[in-house]
Structures are given as structure tokens and as C-alpha cells.
Amino acid sequence: MIIDCHGHYTTAPKALEDWRNAQIAGINDPAQKPSPSSLKISDDELRHSIEINQLKFMRERGSDLTIFSPRASFMAHHIGDFEVSSTWAAICNEMIFRVTKLFPDSFIGAAMLPQSPGVDPKTCIPELEKCVRDYGFVAINLNPDPSGGHWTSPPLTDKHWYPIYEKMVEYDIPAMVHVSTSCNACFHTTGAHYINADTTAVMQLIQGDLFKDFPTMRFIIPHGGGAAPYHWGRYRGLAQELKKPLLKEHLLKNVFFDTCVYHQPGIDLLTKVIPIENVLFASEMIGAVRGIDPETGHNYDDTKRYIEGTLNLNAEERRMIYELNARRVYPRLDAALKARGK
């Protein structure tokens, strides 16, 4: 079985974007503020948006199950206040839930949190609980920078975040550390802000002692871990200077990297530097990079080709990346698959 741990609903019907634009307009003009009930998207529209996009590529490329969450760049936690974020998160998560009900063998949910700059993260707990308890979601996406590229929140190791961490431990779910749109012109959203955030998260976790307080908590760092695996000597050296344990003891018991790297040399290096048990298959399909690589003639985000193409892996190690690691990192996923006989 091939499990893709990093999928976003980037192909949602346009009515969702139109509703969001009306919500944003309503921040300054309450007369334009839409009600959640005014959003009308049928099951047939959802089916169509998935069948001609994600499901089509999953079948062509040979993946079986995608851990699916709302579109990352649409989270835009910096827009409006908590009420705006809360309403938007609830709508987006419900859309994911509906997709998982329509395609239960192909998609399982991960929740967007209603984060808002300067707001206590404990306000996210009701939405998190609903998504896990009522929707059967197996993970959350945690934005370490709700300000959208200005980094006004404390580091991930700060007790500011502990209400979310306590709930993650209670429900035994991991978090993918994933920022949203950058509203800072210095940082392109997908080319800079995403990679900066991934790298920043790794360094914050190296600097702190978070896992002493939460020894079972698990984070997935997307996009191949940002710069970290490709400058691993730098981070090993910095940890040493900070008098931290070796990274395999201090970091890699709790932190995992996905395979959204988009070229063969990147996967070769990732799987050579990072222990295989810390690498999870992912594509971010129909996401940040959608084109065809002129050097190979294949889609950049067809990441299974890179796993198959690297000489660093044997058959059992590939199975670990494709399936076994995901089952271990996402225990609720494993339980759901076993219930389905998979």
C-alpha cells in the first residue's frame, strides 16, 4: 500500500473561493459578510473535482491513500480575527470530511486549525476535537507563523503552544508543521516562505527541549524538511555547540520528513542523510509545483518516481517510506486501515 501523507484540496469547486472572497470583503463591510449556510456545493461537484484531479493522478501514479487537508495557502490565518478564522476553518474541514465520506478508500482527513495572530492557541481546541472525534481525522496542520511571514508568534518550543500539544498527545495524532500564504513581499509563498518555515521549525526544535515535556509527540516537516537535510552537518554542529544530544536522539525520535522535493538528486540525498524510518512518502500533488520537468518529461510532483529511482533503498526500505512509517507516525490512520481490512 502507498500512503501519501501530504495532500491538499487545491481543486475545490470555485464556489469555495468565492465564499472566502465574500467573507474577506465582509471584514470591512458587514453587509457583504456571507453566512456559512450560503455556501452551496453539491456532492456531485465534489466528486467531479476529485475524480478528474487527485483521484485520476493517484490511479495513474500508483498511490492508494492520501492524508487530505484544506489548501494550505488558503488557510491565511493572518486575515481577519479569530471569528473569521474559526468560521473559515470549520467550512474547509467540513469540505474535507465530505470528500472522505465520498471516497473513503482513497482519502482520510487532516485538520486545518482556526489559528489567528496573537490569539491563544487553546481557542483551536474545539475545532481540533470535532475533526478527530466526529470526522475521524488522523492529524492536524499546525501553522508556526499565523502572521503570514512576519513571525510574531513564539517558537514552537514555547509553552504558548502547549494547549495544542496536550491535545495532540491525548488523541495520539501528529502535526504537519505547515505555514500558509506569505503577506510579506520578501518571501514568495511556496518558493521561500514554505521552505523557510520548514527549516525554522527544525532549528527551533533543535534549540529547545520540547520533547522532554512531550516525549511521544510527533511532527512532520514537509517539503523534504526545508533546508535541514541538505545542510545536515550544519545542524548537527549547531546542536553540538548548544550542548544538545545527538540529533538522532534529540530530534529524530519525534520529527519526520516528507518526500516533496521534486527532483531525483534531492530524494537521493534525503534518503542517504536521514534515517529511512524518519522519511514518509508525500507528493503535495496538484500543489505548489504542477508543471512537467523538461529534463525528464514527467510531472515534478510525481514523487513516486524518485523513490523508485533512487539507488539508496531496497524493497523493504521503500515499503517503510510508502506505508509502514505512516502507519507508525499516524496511529489513528493505522486503526482506520485495519478497520477497513488494509
Cα separations in angstroms, 19 against 28, 38, 82, 161: 15, 8, 17, 30
Q: How far apart are CA 255 and CA 250, in angstroms?
A: 9
Closest by Cα among 72, 78, 246 to 146: 78
Active site residue 284: yes
- Which residues fall within 8 angstroms of residue 70, CB to CB, at 6 or more apart? 8, 9, 89, 92, 93, 95, 96, 112, 141
Angle between helices 43-51 and 54-61 in degrees, nearest 10: 30
Q: How far is Cα 169 from Cα 142, in angstroms, rounded to an integer?
A: 14
Residues 6+ apart with CB under 8 A from 297: none
Cell numbers given for 327: 502507519
CA 21 – CA 122 distance, rounded (Å): 27
**Order of strands across the sheet that contains 175-177:** 3-9, 65-70, 107-112, 139-142, 175-177, 219-221, 255-258, 279-280
Q: Which of 284, 295, 308, 323 is catalytic?
A: 284
Residues 6+ apart with CB under 8 A from 44: none
At 20, list the grid cell.
Answer: 472566502
List the catalytic residues.
284
